[in-house]
Structure 1
Amino acid sequence: MSPSLTRQWIWQMITSPWLILAFILTSQWPTSWSSLVISGLSVYYMIRSWAVLESPIKNPDQLKVVIVGAGVAGLGMARKFKEVGVEDFILLEKNPDIGGTWFLNIYPGVACDIFSHFYSFSYFLNAKWSKAYSEGEEIWNYLNRFVEEFQLRPHIHFKTVVSETIWQEDEKKWLVRTKEGKEYQANIFISAVGALHTPSKPHFKNQEAFQKPIFHTAEWDKSVELSGKRVGVIGTGASGVQAVANIAGKVKELYVFQRTASWVPARMNFAHWDWIKNCFVTFPFLLRLYRDILFLTNEVIFHGVFTISSPIRHLVENFVARGMRQNIREENEDDEVLLKTALIPNYPLGCKRVTPSDDYIQTFNQPHVHLIQDRIDCFNENGIATSNGKNIDLDVIILATGFDVLQSSRAFHGIGKGGQILSEVWGDCPRAYLGISHPGFPNSFILLGPGTGLGHSSIIFMIECQVNYILDCVRKLQSSGRKSMTVKKSVHDGFVAWLDKNMKNRVFGSGCVAWYQNAKGVNWTLWPKDLITYWFRTYSCDRTDYEFE
């Protein structure tokens, strides 16, 4: 580790809030459980800080890296390569600007459902988040500052769509081709395309008959004016919950087509006072302490809410359901009873994505907002016809139908050793060792790959773990003196078996139909354990997990 990085690490260590608390507690109560726990956490965070502050990589000029995607994951990986001295890297981005999901999604109310101070990079904190849960534009601005701070923009090739990647066995390099006809060669290839970039667009019978505006939330049409219009929103997942609550006050009539109700606990969003922001700026260790508290709180929630055998799971579920019912206040008593029945899910909390909101449920108290539970039969020139024969006239239809995560994983045609095609190997159930490596695809790594999605905490934590792991893989490859490394099939298969075993005790692996799963009910998208476990498993690359050539 270089002297400058050593000084950074020492400063981060001695200003760790956990270390400060450990010193206070152990000096006052040297044998108490609290002091032992805090001391253990301080060691954990010191070790984690060591992983973040890596020393420069040896022979960086020998590395040529191609990263696909300039969203949060791709930018995080690029910054890490630059930190350790690798300059020969490029990011190929299909969009005209950075941000990925946060560039594409501009619908009214788009926001993160994870606390802002934890939904950020640990080494690029933002003391001045405006709210507890920030909106999409503020997150996108944060990512732009990140790009400028670490001078990443010169490395990004915008409006570049990767079509094919081919492993060249003789040269031990990847050939990357784009739809624009360009070719790139790299000895390290990283896919950072993410899982939320291909909109899911169900096709309804006779859909072509509706000639008025129709668009997906991820392809929001700003030119369409909603004021005074009759608007239909199809879908009540995360984007539907956010959009409905934010357009209800503008439209003349709002029809929400619900196939399945969502769990909508109160988000309890609040603005950060200026004195809090200034305090975080002046005393950064307090901001880190706050982040750590958010982290540990999410870990506790994960075990309490998402574990089938948890003794408090039903208590939490009943508490959330009661809160949702209390927000329904219809003038017509029969309508109130109907809404209380229709808006409360009949499946366990956490089985599908939880969608917190402070105003979604209350939106249905407005007389011009209508919940439609009947199945959509077909479209017609005036709007939508339901299965019970009801015709609903509409001026605009909004598809809040989420993303096709399987198609997102097939963003390009990947060809590995022996001509094997990754999409064919995966089929409808993508898998990867630690969500990062796959047998037969040397020197190829995935960020936010299969089995690493989260339903309870910050995905940026997972990204940082993966980025550090990939960098350690590159170090091990260099130190081996070989040109390629591939995860062993036995290691990969053993990990998949471990995933499936641990998924059985999670609510989101219990069988209800959700976008997490494939048609066979296999949840291949989510990480089934807590974040500390993932950090531990990705802390370093084990040479024995890989074959070197």
Structure 2
Amino acid sequence: MTTPDRTAPSRTASTPTMRSTALIVGAGFGGIAMAIELRRHGIDDVVILEQAADVGGVWRENSYPGAGCDVPSPLYSFSFAGVTRWPRRYARQPDILAYLQRVAREYGITDRIRFGREVASAEFDETSARWLVRTTGGEEYETTAFIPAVGQLSRPSYPDIPGRETFRGRAFHSAEWDHDCDLTGKRVAVIGTGASAIQFVPEIRPQVGRMTVFQRSAQYILPKRDHAYDRWYHLPLRALPALQKLDRLGFWLYAEFAQECLSRWRVFTPLFARQATRHLREKVADPRLRERLTPDYALGCKRVLFSNDYLPALTDSTVDLVTDDVAEITPEGVRTADGTLHEADVIIYGTGFAAQDLLAPMKIHGLGHRPISDAWSDGARAHLGITVPGFPNMFLMYGPNTNLGGGSIVHMLESQARYIRDAVSKLRARPGRYLDVRPEAERAWDAMVQGRLTRSVWTRCRSWYRAAGGRVVSNWPGRTREYRTRTRRVRLADFRIGSATARAAPRD
């Protein structure tokens, strides 16, 4: 464990420091929601640092063929910026990205964003009660409220397979799709069968010469009730705004039901399991292939997937499904544990994201120069998924235990934005003060969340929802309505109010 360094963060004398009331990291759904919430309540002194050249977050980065959302479009949007012209029930990546670009522009957020700025470190200075944020380019920013909005699914995760760097062909992650790579007639190996793979596999199958899909575990796949929206759908929504809210409400109520089925009302989950089994039987006639595509764990323990064309793609004569463990990658292809070498020209990794490393690779230090890695040595945790003891005035968007097994994360982000805006307003009214969530408040919150999670389906198997020790660090165990109620306002009793001029108090 790192020994605390009590010195204040040093500043680079040659670099001018830019100051703000709030500094947001990331311009995806979370960062945009946060900036709009602050500006709508008169807090205009906001800076957003975005490492890329455009807004969008995961919807900018994940541009692979077939990329889209598995939450209905009317629900996967901001409540204050509805859309009456979604082209289909489940929006595709270009439509979602265009939506975020439009919202950022219309709400005056774009001119608050500094593009091409990757945050390297952030340190809390007890002498000023402010955060000093540095970018990899050497810029420095000083801010009262430090708001990371980088999310849980922003950093691609590559598998630790021996020989991965020796492959002579093209290789890339689905979240870093190589659009210059022509797959026509190629032998393509797909490692991973998660949410991204079930979208791009059927899209690229007609192009490739031969495809080998390496599956570590089978997935529960439900049919996707998707269809294009025509003018007869759009006309009444534009004419009667109340219908748009009713449309959104219907999807929200169903999502609340699904969330409860996964976390509490598990008596209903066999209904979904039977639907997945029927879907598999209808799409895959070969009983041997069907057996390999049948999950051996409880439905919902891993992310439930939605697709109409993934299972049919696997039945094509040009596609091989391999369920043996991948042993190594050679210059020629992928070797499995049974010794078979599966030759390939291209390897595509559909292996998800580093969901447990929430704030990496940023180096973040709080009171006493304590690194966040020490505070999260047994897995990420935060009061309401937002504040961490010992890291004053730092507020997380899409933090620990705020992911959903069912429903729209956009609803959760709006709840967090309102809570953080309340905190920033209180800080602005108390210059030179800081809010440090009390350890006992965070412990009580965590005990409640983890206690409820033990009764959920998410503890029944290994998945990206859980840390290495088994602790569920990603998911929220209740309804989004409950979370909104709990985050309605900041309870000052949950915080220690510190002063920039006071000597730092001993930590618990």
Same fold (TM over 0.5): yes
What's 2:270 paired with?
A: 314
Q: CA deviation at 1:308?
A: 5.8
What's 1:524 paired with?
A: 473
What's 1:340 paired with?
A: 290
Secondary structure (helix, strand or coil) at the match of 1:238 reads: coil
Q: Is the 8 A contact 2:69 2:91 kept in 1?
A: yes
Q: CA deviation at 1:444?
A: 1.2
Aligned counterparts of 1:501 and 1:204: Cα–Cα separation in 2: 35
Q: Which has the higher contact order (CA 8 A, sep 6+)?
A: 2
Q: Count residues with an aligned counterpart.
A: 480
Q: Is the 8 A contact 1:410 1:423 kept in 2?
A: no
What's 1:508 paired with?
A: 458
Paired amino acid for 1:311 = V
Runs of 5+ unmatched residues, structure 1: 1-61, 330-335
Q: Determine whether 1:181 maps to 2:138.
A: yes
Q: Is the 8 A contact 2:263 2:477 kept in 1?
A: no
Query: Alignment partner for residue 263 of structure 1, among 208, 212, 220?
Result: 220
Aligned counterparts of 1:91 and 1:476: Cα–Cα separation in 2: 20
What's 1:491 paired with?
A: 441
Q: Is the 8 A contact 1:193 1:411 kept in 2?
A: no
Q: CA deviation at 1:428?
A: 4.3
Paired amino acid for 2:217 = T
Written as runs of structure 1 = structure 2, the 5 A alignment for 1:4-83 is 64-83=21-40
What's 1:447 paired with?
A: 397
Secondary structure (helix, strand or coil) at the match of 1:205 reads: coil
What's 2:484 paired with?
A: 535
Secondary structure (helix, strand or coil) at the match of 2:483 reads: helix
Q: CA deviation at 1:448?
A: 0.3
Query: Alignment partner for residue 286 of structure 1, among 243, 250, 256?
Result: 243
Identify if the C-alpha distance between structure 1 residues 153 and 479 changes in structure 2 by more than 3 Å, giving closer, same or farther.
closer
Deviations 1:183-226 (A, max 9, x none): 00011111111111111111322233321100000110011001
Deviations 1:209-248 (A, max 9, x none): 3211000001100110011111110000101111112111
Paired amino acid for 2:247 = Y
Q: Percent sequence identity over matched residues?
A: 35
Secondary structure (helix, strand or coil) at the match of 2:398 reads: coil
Q: Is the 8 A contact 1:266 1:356 kept in 2?
A: yes
Query: Alignment partner for residue 425 of structure 1, among 362, 372, 375?
Result: 375
What's 2:359 paired with?
A: 409
What's 2:10 paired with?
A: none
Paired amino acid for 1:245 = P
Aligned counterparts of 1:171 and 1:452: Cα–Cα separation in 2: 31
Aligned counterparts of 2:381 and 2:89: Cα–Cα separation in 1: 34
Q: Is the 8 A contact 2:358 2:399 kept in 1?
A: no
Report which of the two has the higher share of helix.
1
Q: CA deviation at 1:273?
A: 1.3
Aligned counterparts of 2:432 and 2:74: Cα–Cα separation in 1: 41
Q: CA deviation at 1:478?
A: 4.2
Query: Alignment partner for residue 227 of structure 1, among 181, 184, 188?
Result: 184
Q: CA deviation at 1:307?
A: 3.7
Paired amino acid for 2:434 = S
Q: CA deviation at 1:380?
A: 2.2
Aligned counterparts of 1:461 and 1:202: Cα–Cα separation in 2: 32
Q: Determine whether 1:93 maps to 2:43.
A: no
Q: CA deviation at 1:420?
A: 1.1
Deviations 1:514-541 (A, max 9, x none): 0111111111111111111101100111
Deviations 1:6-47 (A, max 9, x none): xxxxxxxxxxxxxxxxxxxxxxxxxxxxxxxxxxxxxxxxxx
Secondary structure (helix, strand or coil) at the match of 1:312 reads: helix
What's 1:145 paired with?
A: 102
The 10-residue stretch of structure 1 (418-427 or 312-321) with the greater mean CA deviation from structure 2:
312-321
Q: CA deviation at 1:476?
A: 3.1
Secondary structure (helix, strand or coil) at the match of 1:484 reads: strand
What's 2:421 paired with?
A: 471
Written as runs of structure 1 = structure 2, the 5 A alignment for 1:131-210 is 131-210=88-167
Q: Is the 8 A contact 1:477 1:548 kept in 2?
A: no
Q: Is the 8 A contact 1:118 1:291 kept in 2?
A: yes
What's 1:400 paired with?
A: 350
The 10-residue stretch of structure 1 (195-204 or 530-539) with the greater mean CA deviation from structure 2:
195-204
Aligned counterparts of 1:106 and 1:381: Cα–Cα separation in 2: 27
Aligned counterparts of 1:398 and 1:408: Cα–Cα separation in 2: 24
Q: Is the 8 A contact 2:162 2:327 kept in 1?
A: yes
Instruction: Give the superposed CA RMSD.
Output: 1.4
Identify if the C-alpha distance between structure 1 residues 68 and 497 changes in structure 2 by more than 3 Å, giving closer, same or farther.
same
Secondary structure (helix, strand or coil) at the match of 1:497 reads: helix
With normalisation by structure 1, the TM-score equals 0.85
Paired amino acid for 1:454 = L
Q: Is the 8 A contact 1:172 1:187 kept in 2?
A: yes
Q: Is the 8 A contact 1:261 1:342 kept in 2?
A: yes
Q: Determine whether 1:544 maps to 2:467.
A: no
Written as runs of structure 1 = structure 2, the 5 A alignment for 1:124-135 is 124-135=81-92
